[in-house]
Amino acid sequence: MTVEWGHFALILALVLSLCQVGLPLWGLVSRDAALMQTARGTAVGAFVFTLLAFAALTYAYVQSDFSVINVAMNSHSTKPLAYKISGVWSNHEGSMLLWVLILTLFAALVAMARQAIPLPLLAAVLVVQGAVASAFFLFILITSNPFLRAMDVPAEGRGLNPILQDPGLAIHPPLLYIGYVGFSIAFSFAIGALIHGRIDAVWARFVRPWTLLAWSFLTLGIAMGSYWAYYELGWGGFWFWDPVENASLMPWLAGTALLHSTVVMEKRDALKVWTILLSILTFSLSLIGTFLVRSGVLTSVHTFASDPSRGKFILGILVFFIGGGLSLFAWRAHALRQGGLFAPISREAGLVLNNLVLATMAATVLIGTLYPLVLEATSGDKISVGAPFFEATMLPLFLPLAVLQPLGTALSWKRADLWAAMQRLSWAFGFSVLVMGIVLYVTRGGSVIAPVGAGIGLWLVLGSMADLWLRVWRAKAGWAVNLSRLIGLPRAALGTALAHAGLGISLIGIAATGWGTEVIATVGKGAEIPAGPYRVVLEQVITRNGPDYRETIGRFQVYSDQNRLGVIEPGKRLFIGQTMPKTEAGLMTLGLGQIYASLGEFQTDGTVSLRLYWKPLVILIWAGALVMALGGFLSLLDRRSRIAAPKTARQAQGEAA
């Protein structure tokens, strides 16, 4: 029965979402505050019922109720509990349910937030949120219902795809979706502002925390996905420019631009029309990403055409919201007051440049991802747009932006002195160039892009540190005073520095892939293979059983000179209910680098083919992303952008008075 209750709760959530659209909209038209207020209750209600539906499906998974088709297709009674739960969103239907759960959660949070949003704007925002939620509720109920029962109940489930049975991928979708879906708030605020016809610096303050929250989670989600692909797919790459990855990168790039443009809007009351457009575009890219991943269009245009019900439905949602949003923008944008202009050398001019480049990068990823689909659909020609294209187009855009970033942060608002800014950063710049020069010399004959990339990364890190240093340091004050000055900086300033430093850290890690080593060999027992400054020795081949799999592993000892550092166990796993074995990489983290081993076929003579990598500084790629997200969260704690800080009694009294 629980499943039926869940199904019913989902339908009720749809009904409430429709009310969330209809009632406040009527209130907006008739200027009835009481009707506008209904937006809050319906938004919270829709979330509660979606949560109930989600809980019911989770319960079915935990109970291994194979009479539910979705559970039978994606779970197995022997799965560990954690993977039974993550099984809920490891499939199409369940992941769409998670998508709307997060969407309604964001709407409920906006409804409950103490942000002092003017009621008409709040009502308009929640109407748009309700409309998006309604569309996706309908999508789930009509084409992707996870609550359907089977006529004949199988005794056992088909099992979770083993590649998804992994802690990284269990938490990857929720992180990513919080990011994707969080941008819907900026979208709704943009539509609300267009309907409202008014937009100002206060609007930017309302939107900024939600964008920051979404951006931080999206950063974590992308990093998680990248690390998962790195250790799970078995050949040690961390980014493949796969359409599914691009789908998450596009909203990230646009969202990054949006974060920066809202700063300009908040501080200088400028870039307003552009910020509105960017808000619409960022969520549109989230929707396009959802469409790309969920419609089947990526596998091939023909898959999409042969089972078009889902694809067409999402395409309809896409066209309605993106088309509608952009049309509204075209119709109403002129009604918004344009902001002031500014001097070419100023913080805001730097941020405009940042937006120009980031928007171009987002557009490049979009065009590169869609081009082959469009070309095939229109002319029948098949081309591939792979990693070489993206590297050739994105690097020339990104690297100059990275070089200019610390300089932009050093400029002051309104009218800045470029020369003074450069002087302030001269130490950071000089040191970065010096290190780059030394590395170029030491590794001469090798890759040039690696030292240059690492040098730019170092410059980003040092530039951010220099910015904090110059804000805080007083030569005459003691260390304790300077430290308390650092802690006393606005959280947003610390967050900005962290996020930019994080980008630099990631860049150093990415650049360092150029210094890795790779060995491909057939090895037998006792074989000794070099891995950068280390070496590994095959001790033995073992076959053993795990909780729900059987695996054959190669046990390798890792040595540094004569010191034994430990063991890595790359191997192959065959999960119950599956026929294809899955490669498990053997990893050992040594400092900031990793030894990465991946095994091929085991031969009858006891040898096995091995791919062994030494990846120096590789940890920095994801550590940098973590630092970036941390910067985002820190900014969120800034007093300017508290989302739902409860008011103290005194504040409340003060307002009442």
The reply to whether 605 sits near other proteins by the rule CB under 8 A is no
The reply to whether 611 sits near other proteins by the rule CB under 8 A is yes
Q: What gap in Å lies between CA 566 and CA 553, rounded to an integer?
A: 15
- Residues 51 and 118 sit within 8 Å (Cβ to Cβ): no
Judged by CB under 8 A, which of 363, 576, 637, 643 binds other proteins? 363
Helix (H/G/I), strand (E/B), else coil: 518 = strand
Write 37-41 long-range contacts (CB < 8 A, 24+).
37/119, 37/123, 39/111, 39/122, 39/123, 39/126, 39/127, 39/130, 40/111, 40/112, 40/122, 40/126, 41/111
Judged by CB under 8 A, which of 51, 85, 112, 201 binds other proteins? 201
What are residue 575's DSSP bridge partners? 549
Q: Where are the beta strands (DSSP E) in 41-151?
A: none
Q: How far is the CB of 44 from other proteins (least distance, A)?
A: 26
Q: How far is the CB of 235 from other proteins (least distance, A)?
A: 5
Q: What gap in Å lies between CA 492 and CA 262, rounded to an integer?
A: 13
Instruction: Enumerate residues 156-185 that contact other proteins by CB under 8 A.
Output: 161, 163-164
Q: How far is the CB of 41 from other proteins (least distance, A)?
A: 26
Nearer to other proteins, 382 or 544 (CB): 382
The reply to whether 330 sits near other proteins by the rule CB under 8 A is no
- Residues 155 and 76 sit within 8 Å (Cβ to Cβ): no
Instruction: Enumerate residues 452-471 that contact other proteins by CB under 8 A.
Output: 467, 470-471
The reply to whether 244 sits near other proteins by the rule CB under 8 A is yes
Judged by CB under 8 A, which of 166, 245, 548, 551 binds other proteins? 245
Instruction: Enumerate residues 277-316 that contact other proteins by CB under 8 A.
Output: 293-294, 296, 298-299, 303, 307, 310
Helix (H/G/I), strand (E/B), else coil: 149 = strand
Q: What gap in Å lies between CA 627 and CA 508, rounded to an integer?
A: 13
Q: What gap in Å lies between CA 502 and CA 437, rounded to an integer?
A: 22
Q: How far is the CB of 294 from other proteins (least distance, A)?
A: 8
Q: Which secondary structure element, helix H or strand E, spans residue 499, and what is its range?
A: helix 491-512
**Region near other proteins per CB under 8 A, out of 195-203, 324-332, 428-436, 588-596:** 195-203
**Region near other proteins per CB under 8 A, out of 42-50, 213-221, 341-349, 450-458:** 341-349
**Interface mask toward other proteins for 502-541; x: CB under 8 A:** ------------------xxx-------------------
**Region near other proteins per CB under 8 A, out of 80-88, 187-195, 279-287, 597-605:** 597-605
Q: What amino acid occupies position 96? A: M
Q: Where are the beta strands (DSSP E) in 608-647?
A: 608-615
Enter the tokens of residue 356: 């120009």
The reply to whether 411 sits near other proteins by the rule CB under 8 A is no
Enter the tokens of residue 38: 């209904």
The reply to whether 31 sits near other proteins by the rule CB under 8 A is no
The reply to whether 557 sits near other proteins by the rule CB under 8 A is no
Q: How far is the CB of 611 from other proteins (least distance, A)?
A: 7
* DSSP, res 148: P
Nearer to other proteins, 388 or 437 (CB): 388
Nearer to other proteins, 95 or 275 (CB): 95
Q: How far is the CB of 269 from other proteins (least distance, A)?
A: 8
The reply to whether 583 sits near other proteins by the rule CB under 8 A is yes
The reply to whether 235 sits near other proteins by the rule CB under 8 A is yes
Q: How far is the CB of 364 from other proteins (least distance, A)?
A: 4
Q: How far is the CB of 363 from other proteins (least distance, A)?
A: 5
Enter the tokens of residue 251: 């909203």
The reply to whether 359 sits near other proteins by the rule CB under 8 A is yes
Q: What is the largest CA-CA distance in the chain?
A: 87
Residue entry with tokens 């973590």: 626
Query: Which region, left, alpha or beta, applies to residue 223 given φ > 0 means left and ψ of -120 to 50 means alpha?
Result: alpha
- Residues 239 and 226 sit within 8 Å (Cβ to Cβ): yes
The reply to whether 586 sits near other proteins by the rule CB under 8 A is no
Q: How far is the CB of 21 from other proteins (least distance, A)?
A: 28
The reply to whether 403 sits near other proteins by the rule CB under 8 A is no
Of residues 499, 536, 521, the one with CA closest to residue 633: 499
Instruction: Enumerate residues 107-126 that contact other proteins by CB under 8 A.
Output: 116
